[in-house]
Chain A
């Protein structure tokens, strides 16, 4: 029984990690690096990561850039509109902790104040290689998940 569970979970996780669809969403200059990551040089499409234009079809929210208080509500709503299981990558210093604009009156001091974050990428802005590395780290994390017993438990 355990063997069947584990193998099924491996198969489901393999399917999920090979099709991490990320939301087409960028709020500042990290978005340019995000675009580069989708481009031919880094090409995250080879990991099955393609941008989707709607949160309904996305598994991953890459918070690429500064989040202002005004934008925070939108980010939160976008996150809520994504279907589970959903993941969040905070890309760059601004999304991690407010970064350069930490002292500003209008900037959220880290996107983890409004949504749960799975991975943080340091850098200002992180290179496309760093984002690709984060995607691979996320894939590794997905493969370790006991999907049937935790993530999909309320099916």
Chain B
């Protein structure tokens, strides 16, 4: 047997021991621990509060859409303010038209997005389902 193969055998022994240890401990625990299931024990832990209904149900995603649209325009503001502070410096450098058009393009793209969201009715708080329309 070569040296390499022997080294692998020791790894194999360690691997199988680790494997056996996990299962051995779990099986030993199964025999040692008391098993007294009850309805309360099986109930969902809500910090002592009794859960009402099931956790698996549909809920209204209107906050999600509004929050997403808000986030986009929030980031737009965050990007626009730094430009506003350095704008006069760019004007003095004679690049006013370039910077203004860049900013207008940026805001314009987002405005197209706003128009799209508006057109799709995602800004409406009260919605109708597609099959109601």
Q: Which residues of A contact B (CB under 8 A)?
A: 12, 54-56, 73-75, 77-78, 80-81, 83-85, 148, 151-155
Contacts and interface: CB of A to CB of B under 8 A. Distances in A.
A154 B41 contact: no
Given A80-B40, A81-B41, A75 B33 contact: no
Contacts of A81: 40-41, 43, 45
B82 interface: no
Contacts, number: 43
Contact of A55 (B33, B45, B50): B45
B52 to A, nearest CB: 13
B3 interface: no
A152 B38 contact: no
A152 B45 contact: no
A152 B32 contact: yes
A57 B55 CA distance: 22
A55 B44 CA distance: 11
A18 B84 CA distance: 63
Contacts of B31: 155
Interface in B53-111: none
B49 interface: yes
Given A80-B40, A80-B41, A81-B41, A74 B34 contact: no
User: Would you list the 9 A-B pairs with minimal beta carbon distance, nearest first?
Assistant: A74-B48, A80-B40, A84-B34, A78-B48, A152-B34, A77-B48, A154-B34, A84-B36, A54-B45
